[in-house]
A and B are shown apart, each in its own frame.
Chain A
């Protein structure tokens, strides 16, 4: 099936790029590999039929966060130091390996309830006319009873505070 093949390609790309970000000696190359990892995660969202999130991932992560990271790499370039491991490399590797084994065991061992998509959703896909998720997401955020209006407003204030804080931090005295 096409979606399965897309999942395997994107998963391999994401994991490979993430490992390369860690392993790369050159920090600038690590930043570019991070962009590749973000793109692969956007593809994973697409295989989950999360169209709005896939576009938001490309716009926010690839468009904004990656540019910020590359700016920071350029402004703080320490060519001789590179991107080495510190003295916790071995214990951290042990801990993360253990944690990863735990995650994989739990994900495989748990019998997740198999819920099938609603009939009309399946029919929309069969007709080749799936509805975009944008309206549905807005419906969830702005719902009167179980919505996320307060978190939405807090997120707006948080972004404003972050922008002002970042400007205040790097301003020349």
Chain B
């Protein structure tokens, strides 16, 4: 069986759900950020696969451009997110998201 669009989409879905599970079920804020990076990578795989298989004309690489913009946003998100985690650790001596509840009613 030749590897086609379906294989890439299934891989993307599996990676996305692994990342989502980690993001929902972890205590550590750095671990949650790692899982969000996995989710963004999964979405990128889907975008590039659609670009490759549904618009294979080399001139139309919109999926690649989308993936590049996702990478830019992911880099910005990682920088700001990890800065917030380090500030949280400095102020509260914890990186557990359950302890960051000062805005809870």
Interface residues of A (CB under 8 A from B): 1, 3-4, 7-8, 11, 14-15, 18-19, 21-22, 27, 30-31, 34, 37-38, 41, 44-45, 47-50, 52-53, 56-57, 60-61, 64-65, 68-69, 71-73, 75-76, 78, 81, 83-86, 88-89, 92-93, 95-97, 99-100, 103-104, 107-108, 112-113, 115-118, 121, 131, 133, 136-137, 139-141, 148, 151, 155, 158-159, 161-163, 165-167, 169-170
Contact = CB atoms under 8 A, between A and B. Distances in A.
Contacts of A165: 79-80, 83
B100 interface: no
A118 to B, nearest CB: 5
Give the most central of A22, A88, A133, A167: most B CB within 10 Å.
Answer: A22
For chain B, the bracket of interface size reads: 35 or more
Nearest to B55: A115
- Say whether chain A's binding surface is mostly helix, strand, loop, or mixed: helix
Interface of B: 2-22, 24-28, 30-31, 33-35, 37-38, 41, 44-45, 48-49, 51-62, 64-65, 67-69, 71-80, 82-87, 89, 94-98
A81 B56 CA distance: 48
A73 B9 CA distance: 32
A34 B58 CA distance: 31
Contact of B67 (A53, A95, A107, A155): A53
Given A21-B38, A100-B17, A103-B10, A95 B54 contact: no
16 contacts: A18-B19, A21-B22, A41-B41, A50-B51, A50-B64, A68-B82, A72-B33, A86-B27, A92-B20, A92-B21, A92-B25, A96-B18, A113-B54, A118-B56, A155-B73, A169-B83
